[in-house]
Structure 1
C-alpha cells in the first residue's frame, strides 16, 4: 500500500463509521425513545404514588403499616426508574464508543472479546432490518478471551463485515446471521471470530482482485471505487483494519473469519 494512500486511511475509516451512525439515525432514535417513554410513564406513576402518600399523611388516619406499604411501593418504582435510566445510559455509551477519537499511536488495551462483540451487536440493532428481521445467533465461549488490541480498529473490522453480510441477506425471505467466537489455546493468540450469513455467496475471486488493486493504488485513485458494490467496499475496509490491527481475515462463500 503506497504511503500517501495509508495517510488517508484514518479519514476513510472515520467517514465510514460516521456514515453508519447517520444511516442508522432512525433506529438510534427508536432505541432510545422506547425507554424514554417507559421512563416518562414510571415518573408519572411515581408522582401519583407520592400524592397518595401525601394525602394519607394529611388525613392522619393512616397506620404505620399503610404508610410503610406506600413507601415500599415508591421505592420499588424508583428501582424501575433506575433500571430504565441504565438502559438509556447504555444506549448512549454504545453510540459514544463509536464517535470517540483514538490516538493512532495507541498500542491497544486488554479487551473482553465477548463483551465487545455483544456491545457492537447492540449498536447494529439501530439498523431496524437487523433488529427485527434478521435471525441472529451468537455463540460465545463461557469464559471470554481477553485480547490486547486497538478497539477502534476491531470495531472497523466488525462494521465492515456486518455491513457486507447484511447487504447479502437484505432481500432474502429468511435472513439469518451467526457470530461465533472460538478461543485459541491458552497462552496462544489464535482466537477466531466467524461471521456467517444465509444469503448469496460472496464473490470471493472478485473481492480478492479488488484487494490486490487497492494495494497498488495511489491517494488520487479513490474515485475508482465509486462503482464497486458497497458490500465489497466494506469488506475492503474491514480487511485493511484487520491488517493494521495485526490480525488477518479470510473471506469464504458465506463466512468471514477474523483471526486475532
Structure 2
C-alpha cells in the first residue's frame, strides 16, 4: 500500500507537469519509470497483506526459542553436574554452541519483528488520506530504519545523526514529507556509490522558527550547470536502460513540500553536498 500511495502521488505530480514535457525522450523515460512504479505498487499491495499476517508465526518461533533457553538452563543445572570431567568438557562445547546459535536466532527474530512493525507503521501512515500532526524527528528515524535493509547503507555508509530535541510537529500529509525525505536521501546514496569511504550526515534543527532537515554527503559534488536546473523536471544525470530515471525525484520533493511553505536549497562543492529541507 505504501508503494501504491507513492505511485498515486507521483502520477498527480506528473499530470501537473505535463505541459513541461517537451520531447519524446522525456515521455519515454517517464513512462518507463511509471511502469516500474506500478509494477512495484502491485507487488507492494500483496506484500503488505502478507506482512500483516507475519507477526503471528514470528511470535510462535520466538516462544519456541525462549523455551529452548529454559531447557538449556535446566540441562546446565541438572544434567551437567552428573557428568564425568571428561564428558563434561565435551558437553560444554556442544552446550555453548547451542546457546550461541539460539541467541543469534533470537536476535534475527527481533530484527524481523522490528521490520514488520516498521512496514506496518509506514503503510498505515502513508495510506492515511487525512492530515496528521507529524513528528519530523520520528519520521526521519523511521525512514532511516527502513534503509537498514539495504546492504550499501547498512554496511558501507558511515552515518552521522543529530536531532534537535522537541522539534515542533508539523501538520500535513505524512507521505508528502516521507517521500520528499526519501528522494533526497536516495539522491545522496547514489552520489556516495562511487566514494571509497561514503559518509552520510542527517541533522534536524530549528533555525529562525523554521524546521530544518539537513542531508549531507561526501560524494563528488554537483557541477554548477546541473545545480542551476536541479529541481527542473526530467533533469537527471543517472539512469540506464535497465534502470530508467525520469529525473523527477528532486522536482517532486520540492513540489510536495511547496504547499506547506517548504523550500529545498542545495550547497555543493567537490567532496561535500548539502540538501536543506526548510519548513515553517
TM-score above 0.5: yes
TM-score under structure 1 normalisation?
A: 0.61
Q: Is the 8 A contact 1:169 1:175 kept in 2?
A: yes
Q: What is the Cα deviation at residue 209 of structure 1?
A: 2.9
Conserved 8 A contact 2:191-2:219: yes
In the alignment, structure 2 segments of 5+ residues that lack a partner are: 1-11, 19-29, 48-54, 80-104
User: Is 1:166 paired with 2:176?
Assistant: no
Q: 1:252 is paired with a residue of what secondary structure?
A: strand
What aligned pairs does 1:171-190 form with structure 2 within 5 A after superposition?
Answer: 171-185=194-208, 188=209, 190=210
Matched ranges for 1:108-119 at <5 A: 108-119=131-142
Matched residue of 2:149: which SS?
A: coil
1:200-239 map, 5 Å: 200-203=220-223, 205-206=225-226, 208-209=228-229, 211-213=231-233, 230=245, 233-239=248-254
**Cα distance change, pair 197–138 in 1 and its aligned pair in 2 (3 A):** same
- Map Cα deviations across residues 81-134 of structure 1 (whole Å, 9 max, x no partner): 999876543321212344445355x3x222222222111111111111111111
What's the CA shift for 1:174?
Answer: 0.6
1:96 corresponds to 2:106: no
Question: For structure 1, which segment, 199-208 or 110-119, has the greater mean C-alpha deviation from structure 2 after superposition?
Answer: 199-208
Matched, 1:6 2:16: yes
User: In the superposition, relative to structure 1, how do residues 82 and 200 fare at CA in structure 2: closer, same or farther (>3 Å)?
Assistant: closer
8 Å Cα contact 2:232/2:251 also seen in 1: no
Which structure's relative contact order is higher, taking Cα pairs within 8 Å and 6+ residues apart?
1
Counterpart residue number, 2:211: 191
Q: How far did 1:258 drift? A: 0.2
Q: For the residues of structure 2 that align with 1:142 and 1:131, how far apart are their CA atoms?
A: 25
Q: Distance in 2 between matches of 1:17 and 1:151?
A: 23
Q: When the two structures are aligned, how many residues end up with a matched partner?
A: 207
CA distance in 1 between counterparts of 2:220 and 2:265 reads 17
Is this contact kept in 1: 2:157–2:197, CA < 8 A? yes
The answer to whether the 8 Å contact 2:177/2:256 transfers is: yes
Cα deviations by residue, 1:182-239 (Å, 9 ceiling, x for unpaired): 1245xx4x11111000011124542543634569xxxxxxxxx988985954323322
Where does the alignment leave 5 or more consecutive residues of structure 1 unmatched? 26-31, 56-80, 216-224
Once the two structures are TM-superposed, the CA of residue 243 in structure 1 deviates from its matched residue by 2.4
User: Does the 8 Å CA contact 1:141/1:181 hold for their aligned counterparts?
Assistant: yes
